[in-house]
Amino acid sequence: MTKITFVEHNGKEHTVDVENDMTLMEAAVKNMVPGIDADCGGACACATCHVYVEPDWVEKTGDREETEEDMLDFAFDVQENSRLSCQIKISEALDGLVVKLPEKQF
Partner 1 sequence: MSGDVITTDAVIIGGGPCGLFAIFELGLLDIKCHVVDILDKPGGQCAELYPEKPIYDIPALPEVSGQELTDRLMEQASPFDPQYHYSQMVTELIKHGDNDFELKTDGGMTFRAKVVVIAAGGGSFMPKKPPMPGIADFEDTSVFYSVREMEKFRGKDILIVGGGDSALDWVNNLQPIAKSMTLLHRRPEFRAAPDSVNKMRAIEDAGKMKFQLGQVTELLGDNGQLTGIKGKNKEGEFELACDTMLPFFGLTMKLGPVADWGLNLEENLIPVDTEKFETSVPGIFAIGDINNYPGKLKLILSGFHEAALMAQQAFRYINPGERLRFQYTTSSSSLQKKLGVK
Q: Which residue in 5, 14, 22, 37 binds partner 1 (CB under 8 A)?
A: 37
Which range touches partner 1 (CB under 8 A), out of 14-22, 24-32, 54-62, 71-79? 71-79
Is 74 a binding residue for partner 1 by CB under 8 A? The answer is yes
Which range touches partner 1 (CB under 8 A), out of 14-22, 25-33, 46-54, 92-100? 46-54
| 3-state SS assignment for residue 2 | strand
Is 45 a binding residue for partner 1 by CB under 8 A? The answer is yes
Yes or no: say if 45 and 86 are a contact pair by the CB < 8 Å rule.
no
Pairing of strands 97-100, 2-7: parallel
Rounded distance, CA 92 to CA 97, Å? 10
**Of 90, 81, 99, residue with least CA distance to 24:** 90
Which of residues 16 and 72 has its CB atom nearest to partner 1 in the complex?
Answer: 72
Residues of the shown chain interacting with partner 1 in the complex, contacts defined by CB under 8 A: 37, 39-40, 43, 45-48, 69-78, 102-106
